Amino acid sequence: MEHVGFAHWLVVVVEVAAAAMLLAMALLVMVIAVTWVVDRNQTANAVLRNYPVIGHFRYGFLKLGEFFRQYLFAMDREEMPFNRAERTWVYRAAKNVENTVAFGSTRDLRAEGVPFFVNAPFPELDVGHVEPRPTTIGPYAREPYSHAAFFNISAMSFGALSAPAVSALSRGAAKAGIWMDTGEGGLAPYHLEGGCDIIFEIGTAKYGVRNAQGLLDDQRLLEVCAHKQVKMVSIKLGQGAKPGLGGLLPGSKVTPEIAAIRGIPVGQDSQSPNRHIDIGSIAQLMDAITHIRDLTGKPVGFKAVLGDVDWIRDLCDEIWKRGIESAPDFIIVDGSEGGTGAAPQTLMEGVGLPLHESLPALVDVLLAKQLRERIKVVCSGKCITAYDVAWALSMGADFVNSARGFMLALGCIQSLQCNRNTCPTGITTHNRRLQRGLVVGDKSERVYHYATNLMREVGTIAHSCGVKEPRQLRRQHCRVVGDDGLSISLAKQHPYPVPPPAS
């Protein structure tokens, strides 16, 4: 009897499964039929009109193509914005595992624009890692800022990044002794969580420190700067990935918490003005710098992407008219190759000078105007490896900022979904299910290791060039490959307008 009962239930299960399968097939046929009719009669898409149903596969393949290329087809040095070799270097540095290679480099050392460094015939005997010396920013501020680390976290807003990502960056930065730039989205609790030094950025919308009219609210700025971790204030004039356009945060990422911090409506696209309402000239920029520095006591500078340097010359002339104490304490120059969470492709690919032009141009103007020591230079724009950073220091930067390098350290896989709230690694999404993959304790360690290992390897380059520490690198220590496949010294390609500062 038991066998009969089991057989009966088995037959019932099979019949139900068969019925469900038939129902599913009927639904599939119905969906295909409806899709065929819709595709055949629509007028917007020629492919779907001529090839209904199967034409949809084209768009699926287009969507999957970028992922297939990354994992199956692209060579190690082919991809953009960062190729597999670069990403792998960052991943290994962040995991603090052996970062050596065997047999030979896959980097084409004859390609135009490739930098490499001039080793000294008799470098000093290796005495281990030499810590960089502190550099003081803002000598005329009430609270000057001395900072040693030359590699720091660039501007990334809470909103563009998730809460766990900001927390992990904050904790890792504190352990590595580097600063973290808030980006234009205001100061969030997650920035302060780890105890790292903070650069507070005032964007064109003045998120976090704005009044009802979108102008600077002095009281709110004082509240922000009352935090001892906030060491400097940066006025954002522009960003490398979108010169002439304000920041854009899609409405899908504007959560109640982000809206409260920024002072904007929940769920609506957050578009910043293309420039500050109250800063429309060099004189107004300097007025704003002086006002904020006097109000907060912190060093104040600005961030810009350069189209030319004529206005920087005019800025320097205005500084000498007003007095050297009126100068911005630092300038962050962002190359047009910089990244962002969302920007029009036209601006990202076709406007602004890349860093290899804008950085030496800025440094040369400051040297010629005798303001190089007064104004510290920070640069950002696709510097994620040791030789990228060493090149920037050789060219004259005091500090190098990186955003996407630290995103890779957090586990970014370059899925190119930063603007969709669907980031698979939890870095740029506010979907709690996806954020679960980003474990703050683990990723903060990776941030720490990435920063320290990169700075250590830049130190190795400096030692090979015969100088004691990375900030002593000069243009004569680096060569760059020209269009004929032969290299030229940076000192000849970009000659100093005045004798270079002593090492």
User: pLDDT value at position 423?
Assistant: 81
274, 241, 440, 426 alpha-carbon torsion, rounded to 10°:
90
Say if residues 191 and 198 touch (Cβ distance below 8 Å): yes
- Average pLDDT, stretch 106-124? 82
Q: In the structure, what pLDDT confidence band is assigned to residue 316 with cuts at 50, 70 and 90?
A: very high
User: pLDDT value at position 285?
Assistant: 97
**Per-domain residue ranges for the chain?**
2-73, 135-493
Phi, psi of 464 (to 5 degrees): -65, -30
Q: In the structure, what pLDDT confidence band is assigned to residue 4 with cuts at 50, 70 and 90?
A: low
Q: What token pair was written down for 408?
A: 């890779």
Distance CA 103, CA 453 (A): 23
Q: Which range, 51-60, 111-120, 234-243, is most confident?
A: 111-120
Q: Which range, 38-42, 106-110, 163-167, is most confident?
A: 163-167
Give this prediction's pTM. 0.84
Look at the block and give the residue holding tokens 């107004």: 284
Residue with the bigger pLDDT between 288 and 63: it is 288
User: pLDDT value at position 485?
Assistant: 83
Name, in order, each residue with C-beta under 8 angstroms of 447's C-beta and a sequence gap of 6 or more.
Answer: 94, 168, 169, 171, 172, 173, 176, 406, 409, 410
Asked if the model's pLDDT at residue 272 lies above 90, the reply is no
Asked if the model's pLDDT at residue 126 lies above 80, the reply is no
User: pLDDT value at position 150?
Assistant: 96
The domain 135-493 having CATH identifier 3.40.50.300: the answer here is no
Q: What is the pLDDT of residues 368-426, one digit of tens each?
A: 999 999 999 999 988 989 989 999 999 999 999 998 889 889 988 777 777 777 788 88
Asked if the model's pLDDT at residue 472 lies above 90, the reply is yes
